[in-house]
Amino acid sequence: MVSTHPVKVQDSGIKYLPDSTKEDIEISGISPNQFLLPLTARVNSHDHLEIGGCDVKNLVQQFGSPLYIVDEETLRAACRQYRDSFKRYYKGESQVIYASKAWSCLAVCAIVNSEGLGIDVVSGGELHTALIAGVSPNQIYLHGNNKSRQELILAIESGITIVVDNWYELETLVELAPSITSQSVRIMLRLTPGIECHTHEYIRTGHLDSKFGFDPNQLSEVFEYVSKQSVLSCVGVHAHIGSQIFERQPHRDLAAVMVQWLEQAKSYGLSITELNVGGGLGTKYIESDDPPSIEEWVKPICEVIQSACEKLNLPLPKLLSEPGRSLIATSCITAYTIGSSKQIPGIRNYIAVDGGMSDNPRPITYQSVYRAVVATKMSAPCSETVTVAGKHCESGDIVIKNAELPKTQPGDILVVMATGAYNYSMASNYNRLPRPAAVLVSNGEANLILRRETYQDLIRQDCLPERLQKS
């Protein structure tokens, strides 16, 4: 049996996890989104990083690299903290819905659902995945600003809740529904609340200049139209103000605004029973990031809604939220194998890994920053500042600029932390690179949840016209 110890503050000053047990962490109220590594991260007697009781080096030897490594315990802990925090602070009914765009695959959907969470989907593909994973239709909510007719038909046939984004979609549902079902279609209305928050321009969705949702100035018109459509059952309103948010006030403001919408709906005879405040809680990617805990995010939202409903003499609605990033980001690391290097005296030192922008497009897309460690040299002091480059034919394929690492050599395993959100889900085959495998680790056992793509997979959908085929 290989002895282990928790990953803690090292001479380099890098903080990964406190020198505490998982139980201590849960009692303290600290949540997974406040760490850089999964809750089970340990260093064994070989000075190797372990996740879920599995040596990262051994995982790479068995499954290859790049490799997504998902810690089941961390993912479940985040689900439970969301679920239990709403139960603790909200007097009415609540439902946490996982925003599966962060990472949609059968295993992740099944784990999240087994913890009592619903699933938020934004396409027919994500909807199909959730259904095949065994998620009940009454636990699935479909979003999107331009749902196709085929997606709407699938949603109606499946009996899920559709979060309606615009007039075109509303009118299309009224047209389609009578020929598909004898039941009224369960919908929510997405509105833009006009609330700004400090995050990347591309992930701010609550301000008025957004492609998402009905303009709040159209609210009366929308409520009046929906109240006259017998084929629609409008059960709630929805708003989402962005992603990777560390501020707490914007969500307090959002909660107050949404309760006013509930009051307004009453005058049109609409019985709105659900209120969805979206998600957006940030997660820790580098040492200086300081996001609120899950509990710190949930508590004020519950307090504001309850207070506002009491003042307006409204019954408490069913309270829904849609976390994605803060549920799964810290649950996953990506393991790479280091290859070539390049020294440019007085300018920069590069090391290259066997992946990059095809398995993690966030640095080149959002200028996102990450932290890395060498999984086979966990106690070695950080002695070099290097830029970690990907292997793609693209000068912008940089995984991390100015990473502080110990001296490395080809064959070392580099681990990039907090890669569970929007890495696999945004992965591509740029340069015809096969997408990586993913493994789920727990109690020393590793299970494949995504097979590594092969070269044959890359050409599976290719069609070569007969006239171009050589005889």
Q: Where are the domains of the chain?
A: 4-69+334-457, 143-323
More confident residue, 453 or 211: 453
Q: What is the pTM of this model?
A: 0.91
Q: Which of these ranges, 22-26, 355-359, 372-376, 446-450, has the smallest mean pLDDT?
A: 22-26
Q: Which are the catalytic amino acids?
A: 393
**For 266-319, how does the pLDDT look when each residue is reduced to its tens digit (9 = 90+)?**
889 998 999 999 888 999 999 999 999 999 999 999 998 899 899 989 999 999
- Average pLDDT of the chain is 90
**Listed residue (279, 212, 265) closest to 237, CA to CA:** 265
In the predicted model, is pLDDT for residue 63 greater than 70?
A: yes
User: Architecture of domain 143-323 in CATH?
Assistant: Alpha-Beta Barrel (3.20)
Domain pair 4-69+334-457 / 143-323, same fold? no
**For 409-434, how does the pLDDT look when each residue is reduced to its tens digit (9 = 90+)?**
999 999 999 999 999 999 999 999 99
pLDDT score for 13:
37
**For 41-51, how does the pLDDT look when each residue is reduced to its tens digit (9 = 90+)?**
999 999 999 99
pLDDT score for 409:
96
The crossing angle, in degrees rounded to 10, of helices 294-311 and 72-89 is 20
Taking residues 116-124, report their average pLDDT: 98
Q: Which of these ranges, 18-22, 93-97, 140-144, 191-195, has the smallest mean pLDDT?
A: 18-22
In the predicted model, is pLDDT for residue 156 greater than 90?
A: yes
Taking residues 74-96, report their average pLDDT: 97
pLDDT band at 135 (very low <50, low <70, confident <90, very high): very high
Tell me yes or no: is domain 4-69+334-457 CATH 2.40.37.10. yes
In the predicted model, is pLDDT for residue 9 greater than 50?
A: no
